[in-house]
Amino acid sequence: MDYEEAVGQFLEYLELEQNRSLKTIQNYSHYLTRLSDYAGEIKLKDIDAELVRKWRMWLNRLPTATSDELSKITQNYHLIALRSFLRFCAKRDWETMQPDKIELAKTSRPQVTFLAPDELERLTSQPDTSKQNGLRDRAILELLFSSGLRVSELVGLDRDHINLKRREFTVRGKSQKDRPVFISDEAAAWIEQYLAKRADNTKPLFIRYSGSKKVDNSGNFTRLTARSVQRMVARYAKMAGITKHVSPHTLRHSFATDLLMNGADLRSVQAMLGHSNIATTQIYTHVTDPHLKEIHSKFHAKKQ
């Protein structure tokens, strides 16, 4: 069977049988297309250890818009997509490489970057709230820190998704898993102020104020994009004089570290972040364990 034909069936399988999100399917399509970009027209039986080795070398030297090469983590995403595809092929008894023959590259654990309380205060004070887009931006910053939402989850919110009186709602995150989200009084107040200034009746919770004004019934033409939120957060961080790299995910990290520093248990934080595996949540513990700080203060270089 042709590789591209099999990939097409695999993507349909992800959508119809696995109920994967459109974003996940797009990512898998992108990663798997990279193999045909390198190898050209191939059959499934052409995929072997040597082809994968050469493809990995090609990926390792592939430049990006922001770097001279793909990161090891991004390269691993390609390999994970290929392994999933090969498992799909194996289930259908199609002749090709065994998925367990592919090993991921070793990567270092990513360093957690989060904002200190004074940095958060400086960041959230940057938007000009006398303007409607400034009110929107303040509401976004407050909501990101208060909830730990992923940026994709935030931009997917509609007005009727969020209950400002109860200050809680449900969001569907990765792998189509639902989880409860709770927000602070302050975040709810800023969102309420922002919505009170809105004169439109479109569905998205956060809308853009530049570009095309064309709108459909769903309001998706006005919906703020994840990339716009990323640029907005980076711009305000620069205005606030914060030198570290700041993104919406930095505010998610800040949400988690704030909870743990104030005594929240790891399992609860895992649930609020929507992590499937607690090992993912444990990346925060080495910088947030209050007990270790207490032990250090009590016993290190103690003077008699």
Active site residue 302: no
DSSP string covering 98-167: -GGG--PPP-PPPPP----HHHHHHHHT-S-TTSHHHHHHHHHHHHHHHH---HHHHHT-BGGG-BTTTT
DSSP string covering 22-85: HHHHHHHHHHHHHHHHHH-S-BGGG--HHHHHHHHHHHHT---SSSSS--HHHHHHHHHHHHHH
Of the residues 20, 78, 253, 275, only one is catalytic, namely 275
Of the residues 161, 174, 198, 203, only one is catalytic, namely 174
Of the residues 150, 167, 223, 253, only one is catalytic, namely 150
Residues 6+ apart with CB under 8 A from 110: 73, 283
Of the residues 72, 122, 203, 249, only one is catalytic, namely 249
Active site residue 284: yes
- Residue 25 tokens read as 């399917």
Please state, in angstroms and rounded to a whole number, the distance separating the CA atoms of residues 209 and 199: 12
Of the residues 20, 138, 252, 253, only one is catalytic, namely 252
Tallying the residues shown for the chain, one arrives at 304
Active site residue 172: no
Structural contact between residues 246 and 233, judged by C-beta atoms closer than 8 angstroms? yes
**How many CA atoms within 13 Å lie on the side-chain side of 238?**
6
- Residue 142 tokens read as 């407050």
Active site residue 208: no
- Residue 265 tokens read as 């248990």
Active site residue 252: yes
Catalytic residues: 150, 174, 249, 252, 275, 284
